[in-house]
Amino acid sequence: MRAFEHFQPSNLKEAIKILSTKDKEARVIAGGTDLLNAMRDGEESPECIVDLKGLKGLDYIKYKEKEGLRIGSLTKLGSIEKSSIVKKKYPVLCQAAHSIGSVQIRNMATIGGNLCNAAPSADMAPALIALEAECKVQGAKGKRTISLEDFFAGPGETVLKKGEILTEIIVPKLAGKCFGVYIKHGLRKAMDIAIAGVCVIITKERGKLKGVRIALGAVAPTPIRAKNAEKILLDGSVSEDAITEAAEEAAKACFPISDVRSSEWYRREIVKVLVRRGLRECLEKV
Ligand SMILES: Cc1cc2nc3c(=O)[nH]c(=O)nc-3n(C[C@H](O)[C@H](O)[C@H](O)COP(=O)(O)OP(=O)(O)OC[C@H]3O[C@@H](n4cnc5c(N)ncnc54)[C@H](O)[C@@H]3O)c2cc1C
């Protein structure tokens, strides 16, 4: 690992100042579970590291009935997994957090790091995209809010500009009766990166289907939403044929790669299976 400068700012303003004024290639570090491995493997060699761990006020989970959920970017995945309010209001987020790595990883890894690392397989992304989450970011030029669906620019790339830090994830309140699932398919049952990750969320109001959201991970350069698949159920009847058609449509939204974990063909096939399974489970339980 090459030598690097290390900064430990005590507040967000200071962190942004260091990041935006350094000429050297600067990176922030949160839990370090992605970045340190990349540095050790020589995939990343920043000249300057800005450690966010000393920042106060970015590690929280807050829920308000009108506004929904707000999660600070330095919140650990383990805290999300165990949060009683998240379990009650957005259990699909606990499910997604639980699917990640091991207890040790989840106790170090942050939600901000999971999103900013921008791995197509990041397990928090499909669940948060399906929940129509937004990201609050702050940089030298001020604050902005970005829909999570627009946050990813490619494998390992986000739309964050130089000096910007992700500060908060906002999950809107869900209307009506709702049920969601996150289904992760990997080579192993534990400690494995997804071959495909599928999140399905169904909402009903007064017994009528109101919303269908399907988001996919690890099957395209970025996590994606399968809107054409959602429309099939929203515009037509909820039959077994419609479920199969929606699953086929979801597979068409994918641009998977073949790699050590899976072939492109298998990823599309498994998306069909997982979307069908997710839709059936949600429709049954909502
Ligand atoms: C053994 C092992 C198993 C794993 N299993 C899984 C798994 O099953 N599923 C999964 O999704 N991931 C998995 N991961 C990956 C990793 O743990 C997660 O992506 C983690 O959430 C990253 O968070 P972090 O805080 O450690 O990020 P860091 O490593 O600190 O940072 C990751 C990247 O995000 C940037 N960053 C971090 N926070 C911010 C911020 N607030 N604003 C701007 N940029 C920021 C950093 O500059 C860096 O580029 C695994 C990792 C390991 C080592």
Q: What is the mean pLDDT of each run of 10 residues along the chain (286 residues)?
A: 92 94 88 96 94 95 96 98 97 98 97 98 98 97 98 98 96 93 92 95 91 98 98 89 97 96 97 98 95
pTM: 0.97
Shortest-distance atom of ligand 1 to CA 192: 8
pLDDT at 277: 98
Ligand 1 pocket test, pick from 33, 35, 71, 106 with the greatest ligand atom count within 8 Å of Cβ, gives 33
Shortest-distance atom of ligand 1 to CA 106: 17
Which H/E stretch holds residue 196? Answer: strand 196-205
What residues are in contact with ligand 1 under a 6 Å CB criterion?
27-35, 37, 52, 73, 77, 100-101, 105, 108-110, 112-114, 116-117, 122-123, 160, 165-166, 191, 193
Its sign, for the CA torsion 232, 238, 241, 247, is positive
pLDDT at 266: 97
CATH class of the domain whose range is 5-54? alpha beta
Its sign, for the CA torsion 196, 77, 211, 206, is positive
pLDDT at 10: 94
Ligand 1 pocket test, pick from 19, 27, 117 with the greatest ligand atom count within 8 Å of Cβ, gives 117
CATH class of the domain whose range is 61-171? alpha beta
Q: Where do the domains of the chain lie?
A: 5-54, 61-171, 177-285
Which H/E stretch holds residue 269? Answer: helix 264-285
Residue 224's nearest CA partner among 277, 170, 150, 280 is 150
Q: How many helices and strands (H and E) does the chain possess?
A: 11, 14
Rounded to an integer, what distance in angstroms lies between the CA atom of residue 100 and that of residue 191?
7
Ligand 1 centroid to Cα of residue 7, in Å, is 19
Rounded to an integer, what distance in angstroms lies between the CA atom of residue 200 and that of residue 180?
5
Cα angle value 176/230/100 (rounded, 5°):
80
pLDDT at 213: 98
Ligand 1 pocket test, pick from 35, 41, 55 with the greatest ligand atom count within 8 Å of Cβ, gives 35
CATH architecture of 177-285: 2-Layer Sandwich (3.30)
Give the residue whose CA is nearest to atom 11 of ligand 1.
Answer: 122
